Structure 1
Amino acid sequence: MKKITVLGVTGSIGTQTIDVVKNHSDEFEIVAMSAGRNIQLLEEIMQSMNVKHICVQNKEDKEYLEGKYPDCQFYDGQDGLIAIATLTEVDIVLNAIVGFAGLLPTMEAIKAHKDIALANKETLVVAGHLIIPLVKEYGVALLPVDSEHSAIFQSMNGEHHGDIAKIILTASGGSFRDKSRDELKDVTVEQALKHPNWSMGAKITIDSATLFNKGLEVMEAKWLFDVDYDDIDVLIHPESIIHSMVEYQDTSVIAQLGTPDMRLPIQYALTYPYRQPLIGGKRLSLADIGSLHFYRPDFKRYHALELAYEAGRMGGSMPCVLNGANEQANALFLERKIHFLDIERLVEEAMRAHQFIAYPTLEQLLEIDQWARHFVLKRVGED
């Protein structure tokens, strides 16, 4: 029985993890979980599963839950996330928190010798230079949950790392893949949230529309698979059937295919190196699909992807700036305070204004993240 902490249980990845665990209750047990502000959904999950350790974002919610569920142990804030990520009985921490907030719990879980199933790409984007050495030092497994990185991971099984020629990340193109830049000027939040293929949370769906999400995945792939940025390509693939590919020195290309279902990479991270039936999963029929399409992204059209490559190649503190500025701009767009194209404009302005640090410490990264967010807020008159 593998015992799991799920960070971000009320989000899209978290709720799908619940589904996986319930379908394999003889294999997995969730012993701790965290939620942000969606207390109603958290309570529904609590009533369907016997989980004793629960962390919430706010102290007020913690006090409310303590009064209602005296048999559970409740925690709050960043300290609470770290506490449930480092519980003695936990074997693996599935980190599905969205954004920079997932960094510290990941680091502390690694130090507590917990394996990590990582859906929080920002951990590696911002602090890959700190996380990867920790993983090696403490000898834990770092298992990707993003569908693209899971696909790469699966395509590398049994192969020699030195034989890799190129990693090819596929991208759906998001909600606006058929629109020109001129058509993007006045798109609405509602339009941006209508992803054609995947069921994801609001922040990631907007990131998918800008292609910042794919840029973050490029940076994550660099750290996960120890490859240079020149050896990471992105292809727009509207059908989202090939989830990513690895090209080898002998020109072979190995890909992982499947219907768009995030439960598959979640379950694979939890069962690795074995596979279990995906209960309720739809099997892929290439005969029914008929054809697949691919094209290279235009950096002028997808400027966010160009900025991500630039930040990644610079390294140091720049990915942290890009990530923090994007998180803040993304939130402002969802709040209808800026236009869609303002997201990448604000991120680029933050990058240009930043005083670059080549080897930032954890403390400096925390400060840089806050600086980037405040910079964006000031630019739009919100701070």
Structure 2
Amino acid sequence: MSAIAWIAAASLAAWGFLLLGQGFFWRTDQRLPPRAVPEVWPSVAVVVPARDEASMLPVSLPSLLAQDYPGRAEVFLVDDSSTDGTGAVARELADRYGGLPLTVVSAPEPAPGWTGKLWAMRHGITLAREGEPDYLLLTDADIAHEPDSLRELVAAAGTNGLDLVSQMARLRVVTVWERLIVPAFVYFFAQLYPFRRVNRPGSRTAAAAGGCVLLRTEAAERARIPDSIRGSVIDDVSLARAVRGAGGRIWLGLAERVDSVRPYPSLRDLWRMVARCAYAQLLHNPLLLAGTVAGLSVIYLAPPAGVCAALAGGDTAAGLLGGGAWAVMAGTYVPVLRYYRESLWLAPLLPFVALLYLLMTVDSAVSHYRGRGAAWKGRTYARPEAAPEP
């Protein structure tokens, strides 16, 4: 066989493993586990870190204030040194809509060793703990919740003895680029962190989706959240690892009634969103970067290359092996497309989307070595260092 045929064969073998041996990552059946109504509803403090979110809050904050929760619940929004009047907008919305009590607090610039979001979260959690809540709901300022979202999260945690329940919010898919790239974001995340493995007690795989995390306060104190993860750029995965490492039970799944309302209308917007932390996912390790580029090339790019070799040069073996790998690849992508209610004709385009993600990852590494690192809303985390112990 030709070299391209052998590479296509390796790709097909890899897809055989991914199909059956990677925790069935491609399935979308991990939704909130069975839940029962508690006799007494525990108290909850909702903590929302917000930096320059004045445009998002009118869409997201009213959904939190309108939570239909039978127990005691209140919302703490932390204005993270915003310049667009985020805090004033939040107060105005609370006055207009009513609902759950809202406290707006301002956080100063982060202390050395802290990322901005975790620093803001620390201020919110500290204030929230004064009321001794049983649970903390950590949710982003661009996340909208259906009225029963908090009730369902708490019921799921209590019924199943979970210390952390996280739902990956359904991201917005409106523009052409969002439809092309966003479902793949969820697909690749699940491939890295198969939800079934995350949810298996005693598993070494731990992850969460930072937009919606219900955390038992006792577990947060045990894991020293957020101090123990204060320098983390990928804070949701670090949060889940810290909770599991402290003996907590965690659960992660896809949301049905929690949505991200943040728009990413252009390729540039999506590129920034992925590239800002892609190299951090690889621990800023050039060897891991090289391995990732090689792996993505073999797994995602070799199949169409084999088909092209067959069409252009008559390499039948490359065409059959590449076509088989491409078919398995597309088939595993179908459930995510169905979850997003997108056309299944997007499934064969996954190699092209994977190429974009590969380029975003390389760009993330280039930015890191140029000193720009993970940049978000005017802050740059170029070379994360361990913060001093308190």
**Into which bin does the TM-score normalised by the smaller protein fall?**
0.3 to 0.5
**Structure whose alpha-carbon radius of gyration is higher:** 2
TM-score relative to the length of structure 2? 0.37
TM-score, normalised via structure 1 length:
0.37
Q: Which has the higher contact order (CA 8 A, sep 6+)?
A: 2
